Copies of this chain bind each other. A is one copy, B any other.
Amino acid sequence: MDKLYSVTELARDLGVTPRTVRFYEDQGLILPQRAGNTRIYTHRDRARMILILRGKRLGFSLKEIKEFLDLYVVDTTQVEQLQLLATKVRGRIALLEDQLLAVQTSLTELRDIERMTLDALRSKGVNSA
């Protein structure tokens, strides 16, 4: 336990590139210790990275993730943080629900187009595979 990681190790461990990890630092999302110039990551940093990646996977922007993680540090009771999280999550849910509808609409329209296209091809004597 208390394993320490280099950028490369941490990155490989999490399935991202070192460039990405450094980029997140640039954006203020993580602040590893240094040994001289070399970045040193603890298991806490690793956990933080995992949170970041989870946020990304769920569609949050790096800015939103930062905003959220920043609160985590400041807000010891975590009430404010949880409230922000709840709000953001609800927003995201609403957005995804819209997106779901949009995708379904597009799918319908595309399937219509596909059918018409194949009909047109058949009427020209071309049979589709």
How far, in angstroms, from A96 to B97 measured CA to CA in the complex?
15
Whether B113 contacts A83 by the Cβ 8 Å rule is: no
* Chain A interface, number of residues (Cβ within 8 angstroms): 34
Whether A96 contacts B106 by the Cβ 8 Å rule is: yes
Residues of B within 8 A of A83 (CB): 121, 126
Whether A96 contacts B110 by the Cβ 8 Å rule is: yes
Chain B min CB distance to A75 (Å): 12
Binding site for B on A (CB under 8 A): 57-59, 77-79, 82-83, 85-86, 89-90, 92-93, 96-97, 99-100, 103-104, 106-107, 109-111, 113-114, 117-118, 120-121, 124, 126, 128
Query: Known pairs A58-B110, A59-B106, A82-B117. 9 more at Cβ < 8 A?
Result: A77-B124, A82-B121, A86-B114, A86-B128, A90-B114, A93-B114, A96-B106, A96-B107, A99-B103
